[in-house]
Structure 1
Amino acid sequence: MTELTPRQHAASADLPPAAPPPPTPPDRTARRALLVACGAAFVAFLDLSVVNIAFPAITRDFPETSATGLTWVVSGYAVAFAAFLTPAGQLADALGRARVFLYALAGFALTSLLCGLAPGAEWLIAGRFAQGATAAFLIPAGLGVVLSVTPAERIGVAMAAWTAAGGFAATVGPAAGGALVEWFGWRSVFVVNVPVAAALIAVAWSLTAEDVRHGDGLPDPVGTLATGLGIGAVVAAVTQGQQWDWGSWRTLACGLGGLALLALALWRSRRHPRPAIAVGLWRHRRYALVNAVAFVFGATMFAWLLAGPIWLDAVWHYSVLTSAGAMTVGAIAAMVTAVLAGRAPEQWNRPLAVVGALLFAASAFSMSTDAWNATPAFWSAWVPAGILGGGGIGLLITVLATMAARSLPPRQFAAGIGMNLTARQSGGALGVAILAAVFAANPEDGLAAFHTLFAVCAAIAVAAAVLAALPVRTEEVNA
């Protein structure tokens, strides 16, 4: 070993001691965080769709309320869920992600119980709005906890597991919902969330021990309120526009009023020291592009997912349980490709996103052709389309979640995830509106309406592929 000279000794003495390497979070903590985040995603996304199965039974129990009014039992949850994702992420970063996650789980359990015990339709609709709001807090807070305790090289695997949990909800949701309604009545669809949330709280309780608050206080309250109300109003206008009539005062009031509130929120966020919307993240091309792809693909994905069960019921006349079984084809394909995408190297993310969008486009295009007609063709038509479409969803959604997570500074994990999911949910609301508009334009020819819708879905998916192919810088966002 070479000895140091006196001058070298003196120089080395002036150097500060080497900083110790950052501690690696225990694997047990990371696994626990991922488990509860996946469980929360499962129940939150399950309740987006499972009530569709219970809706006929709900209308029979509340005959004094019009079917139009009762549709808010379904859409109220979706509107509140989309409205609160962005504010929820900001608040989770400011107050502590694990704490907000636990409060949201407790709120989800209480609002689910309110829905299950609702004495009237008004109580049920109010409960569904509240349930959607608490579910919105679950997702960014839970994922924020996961990202804060997961090593960078494992983020892709974690996002794949989280995506697969949503796919699993789509797989078992229709069948589980149908069984619960058949055996215990529609109220059981809501009450079953209570023990699930209680179990997740028991597992997640220890995560608060190392919870960290980021920021110097709560985000701008005026901007936060304007953000939530603005997004909710716009989503309500887009979702209900066909039913209300696009030129009606309700549609215009919600749409224009929501845009005005969002403009106010953005204006304040550019000037406030604690902005309600993390507008600074949009200055980075990678994160902005991921959100653009999420919005565009959300539109085609939601329309496709909603049109599938309608096709099975209206064209092929499948029963509820048979339809539920058929829907598992795409859901299983999505889970498989999500796991594969999560294990892929980071440099494969963008090519996999393009491939996922094109696979989905191929599925939608095949469903727009005459090969899909009134004669049931499960093996020759449904299964190939389900594998292509579901596989494409699993690839693209997982890659987008991974790219978004890797683009975020640690201080804004929950805020960035919340905005990314808001983009996808807002695109989904647009997709539902597109579906309604296509069917309204073809009232006498249902088959032509389906073919037109699927052709539109294919075109939108190609647009998502083009966006995903745009070049971006690979450096991560700096805090």
Structure 2
Amino acid sequence: MLANAQSPCDEGIIQAQRSCEAAVSPGTRALPAGTQAARKRYALAATILGSSMAFIDGSVVNIALPAIQTAFGNGAGGSLASLQWIINAYLLALGSLVLVGGSLGDRFGRRRIFMLGIALFAAASAACGLAPDVAALIAARALQGVGAALLVPASLAIIGNVFEGEARGKAIGTWAAWAAITSAAGPVLGGWLVDVVSWRAVFFLNLPLAAATLWLAWYAVPDSRDPQAAQHFDWPGVLLVAGGLGALTYGLTLAPGRGWRDAGVLWPLALGVAALAAFAVAQARVRAPMVPPALFSSRDFLGANLLTLLLYFALSGVLFFLPFVLIGAFGYSATAAGATLLPFSLILGLLSPTAGKAMDRFGARRMLTWGPVLAAGGLALMALPGLGWPYWAGFFPAMLVLGLGMTIAVAPLTTTVMNAVPSAHAGVASGVNNAVARVAGLLAVAVLGVVFAAALGGPLQGAPAVALIEAFRWVVLAAVLCALASAVCAAVFIAPARL
């Protein structure tokens, strides 16, 4: 998953392959074969458009952050902490509610929840584009995250319901490929809109996409639900995990300005840790836990999620700060800054199917060890460019190596997560891994923001180019260490391939 938004090869994409058997509307069965085939294509298009909005917004907003900072000034509205919360609000809502979104779709109907998520996401996008200040923008971004938490798992379940057998696998591959393409094109288009129109246009772009998605979903997607879905939701668990992550992230974002000994920093950190600990305890006692503790009895499942946390922490943190350095230190336009991600996204989208096939030959543990090592090498290359370095000699090789490393790791990681649990728990296992990836991005922005601010030693706006580059190098160093630690997790936890 990319920063956020994450990568087009999100860990949740296999959820659709093992989703529960669901009822299909009788009207769909009665349609002629040609009409059924056409509607299936339209249904797939709806899931691609809907999911792409959520994926694109996870990366496009990064490109718009420098322009947002300029618009709101360097006071409270344009501070580093405020900019972090523009990203964190979205990731927090999405990461903490994505499991609930999947459960709601199973119970109340996947098309209904999908369309609700699209409508909510569109309304929140309009609110982002009209935001008069940074507080309103952060609130609207949180609402966007709620909409994404509804539409993403529902879109995967829709694919699992509409397609069967080999057609299902092909549909998921098409979904992932188009997600890669839109994620690659999104930052470029977003950067162009920032340069030519305004940062607000980045959010208004979602409105026509949402309208098309709603029409396609209404026309082509049959409603379905799991008749055996749990009738009770773990609402206390939702409140504990969302509150814990929110308090923890709030404390981390305040730390650079107030210092670690300030009570306004220590209390949120303590409350966040306590809430997350209470969440872990409560999951073992409630009747229908949001995250069944038995899942973590599998070493493969535990190791794969630790690897996800560390690897996507590294990736999300670097990609958050990269636009500031490209624009502020190297003089890139917003369009050019967005285009730097194209090699990474295209390699990930085009080569992921090949990596999935290679796992049968080399085994998951070997690929999950060497993929993160190669990704760490790509991240390390980002620390080399200095003032005056051309893109082709500096950031282009880094993006190539990083893309290859992530390509080697993503498909085996998804497969390992799904194979580590019984089929009955495949959906929640996918949701857990998806949530872990989102949380990794959330924590990366907060924790590495502390590193970046400490190394910068002054306000972000107007910072000298040399200082920006040096601060970014410290972020890269921390990210490289995390990526290497994820490789260690694979070597220690993931079982070797059976001969």
Structure-1-length-normalised TM-score? 0.81
Check the 8 A contact 2:369/2:487 in 1, yes or no: yes
Check the 8 A contact 1:230/1:260 in 2, yes or no: yes
Check the 8 A contact 1:161/1:339 in 2, yes or no: no
Distance of aligned partners of 1:416 and 1:425 in 2 relative to their CA distance in 1, 3 Å threshold? same
Residue number among 43, 46, 50 corresponding to 2:53 in the alignment: 43
- Mapping for residues 239-258 of structure 1, pairs under 5 Å: 239=253, 241-243=255-257, 245-258=259-272
Residue number among 335, 342, 354 corresponding to 2:369 in the alignment: 354
1:135 corresponds to:
148
Distance of aligned partners of 1:323 and 1:57 in 2 relative to their CA distance in 1, 3 Å threshold? closer
Shift of 1:104: 1.1
Q: More deviation in 272-281 or 346-355?
A: 346-355
Residue number among 163, 186, 193 corresponding to 2:199 in the alignment: 186
Shift of 1:269: 2.1
Check the 8 A contact 1:94/1:215 in 2, yes or no: yes
- Partners in 2 of 1:70 and 1:58 — Cα distance? 10
Check the 8 A contact 1:330/1:389 in 2, yes or no: yes
Distance of aligned partners of 1:234 and 1:160 in 2 relative to their CA distance in 1, 3 Å threshold? farther
Check the 8 A contact 1:164/1:335 in 2, yes or no: yes
Shift of 1:360: 0.7
Structure 1 residue 86 corresponds to structure 2 residue 99:
yes
Give, as a single letter, the amino acid of the residue that structure 1 aligns with 2:301: Y
Structure 1 residue 331 corresponds to structure 2 residue 345:
yes
- Partners in 2 of 1:340 and 1:169 — Cα distance? 20
Distance of aligned partners of 1:123 and 1:263 in 2 relative to their CA distance in 1, 3 Å threshold? same
Give, as a single letter, the amino acid of the residue that structure 1 aligns with 2:78: A
Check the 8 A contact 2:190/2:338 in 1, yes or no: no
Q: Secondary structure at the match of 1:209?
A: coil
Residue number among 69, 80, 90 corresponding to 1:77 in the alignment: 90
Q: Secondary structure at the match of 1:442?
A: helix
> What does the per-residue CA deviation read over 1:202-223, in whole Å, with 9 as the maximum and x for residues that have no partner?
3334434333244330312222
> What does the per-residue CA deviation read over 1:351-371, in whole Å, with 9 as the maximum and x for residues that have no partner?
333332122122123334xx5
Structure 1 residue 223 corresponds to structure 2 residue 237:
yes
1:67 corresponds to:
78
- Mapping for residues 124-273 of structure 1, pairs under 5 Å: 124-147=137-160, 161-205=174-218, 206-239=220-253, 241-243=255-257, 245-273=259-287
Structure 1 residue 366 corresponds to structure 2 residue 377:
no
- Partners in 2 of 1:150 and 1:473 — Cα distance? 32
Distance of aligned partners of 1:344 and 1:99 in 2 relative to their CA distance in 1, 3 Å threshold? farther
Check the 8 A contact 2:303/2:493 in 1, yes or no: no
> What does the per-residue CA deviation read over 1:235-286, in whole Å, with 9 as the maximum and x for residues that have no partner?
4434554355444344333332223223333323212221132323222222
Distance of aligned partners of 1:450 and 1:143 in 2 relative to their CA distance in 1, 3 Å threshold? same
- Partners in 1 of 2:166 and 2:486 — Cα distance? 27
- Partners in 2 of 1:446 and 1:57 — Cα distance? 17
- Mapping for residues 111-122 of structure 1, pairs under 5 Å: 111-118=124-131, 121-122=134-135
Residue number among 98, 114, 119 corresponding to 1:106 in the alignment: 119
Check the 8 A contact 2:122/2:210 in 1, yes or no: yes
Structure 2 regions of 5+ residues with no counterpart?
1-20, 25-35, 458-466
- Partners in 1 of 2:128 and 2:474 — Cα distance? 37
**Percent of aligned pairs with the same residue?**
28
Structure 1 residue 320 corresponds to structure 2 residue 342:
no
- Partners in 1 of 2:206 and 2:86 — Cα distance? 16
Check the 8 A contact 2:456/2:470 in 1, yes or no: no
- Partners in 1 of 2:334 and 2:55 — Cα distance? 19
- Partners in 1 of 2:238 and 2:486 — Cα distance? 30
- Mapping for residues 414-433 of structure 1, pairs under 5 Å: 414-433=427-446
Give, as a single letter, the amino acid of the residue that structure 2 aligns with 1:403: T
Distance of aligned partners of 1:394 and 1:405 in 2 relative to their CA distance in 1, 3 Å threshold? same
Q: Secondary structure at the match of 1:67?
A: coil
Aligned length: 452
- Partners in 1 of 2:162 and 2:364 — Cα distance? 22
2:308 corresponds to:
294
Structure 1 regions of 5+ residues with no counterpart?
1-21
Give, as a single letter, the amino acid of the residue that structure 1 aligns with 2:345: A
Q: More deviation in 154-163 or 108-117?
A: 154-163
Distance of aligned partners of 1:281 and 1:75 in 2 relative to their CA distance in 1, 3 Å threshold? same
- Partners in 2 of 1:246 and 1:186 — Cα distance? 34
1:16 corresponds to:
none
- Partners in 1 of 2:406 and 2:127 — Cα distance? 34
- Partners in 2 of 1:29 and 1:349 — Cα distance? 36
Shift of 1:147: 4.5
Q: More deviation in 406-415 or 420-429?
A: 406-415
Distance of aligned partners of 1:307 and 1:116 in 2 relative to their CA distance in 1, 3 Å threshold? closer
Residue number among 335, 347, 355 corresponding to 1:341 in the alignment: 355
Check the 8 A contact 2:452/2:474 in 1, yes or no: no
Shift of 1:105: 1.4
Shift of 1:406: 4.2
Check the 8 A contact 2:195/2:333 in 1, yes or no: no
Q: More deviation in 170-179 or 52-61?
A: 52-61
Give, as a single letter, the amino acid of the residue that structure 1 aligns with 2:322: G
2:403 corresponds to:
390
2:450 corresponds to:
437
- Partners in 2 of 1:34 and 1:355 — Cα distance? 34
Q: Secondary structure at the match of 2:291?
A: coil
> What does the per-residue CA deviation read over 1:114-146, in whole Å, with 9 as the maximum and x for residues that have no partner?
333445554433222111121122223323443
Distance of aligned partners of 1:468 and 1:98 in 2 relative to their CA distance in 1, 3 Å threshold? farther
Give, as a single letter, the amino acid of the residue that structure 2 aligns with 1:466: V
Tell me: higher relative CO, structure 1 or 2? Use CA pairs within 8 A at least 6 residues apart: 2
Check the 8 A contact 2:359/2:367 in 1, yes or no: no
- Partners in 1 of 2:110 and 2:427 — Cα distance? 7
> What does the per-residue CA deviation read over 1:264-310, in whole Å, with 9 as the maximum and x for residues that have no partner?
33323212221132323222222222211110101111122234333
1:17 corresponds to:
none
Give, as a single letter, the amino acid of the residue that structure 1 aligns with 2:354: L
- Mapping for residues 403-422 of structure 1, pairs under 5 Å: 403-409=416-422, 411-422=424-435
2:483 corresponds to:
461
- Partners in 2 of 1:324 and 1:248 — Cα distance? 37
Check the 8 A contact 1:87/1:228 in 2, yes or no: no
- Partners in 1 of 2:130 and 2:248 — Cα distance? 30
Distance of aligned partners of 1:212 and 1:192 in 2 relative to their CA distance in 1, 3 Å threshold? same
> What does the per-residue CA deviation read over 1:428-457, in whole Å, with 9 as the maximum and x for residues that have no partner?
233334432333343365444333433332
- Partners in 2 of 1:99 and 1:307 — Cα distance? 37
Structure-2-length-normalised TM-score? 0.78
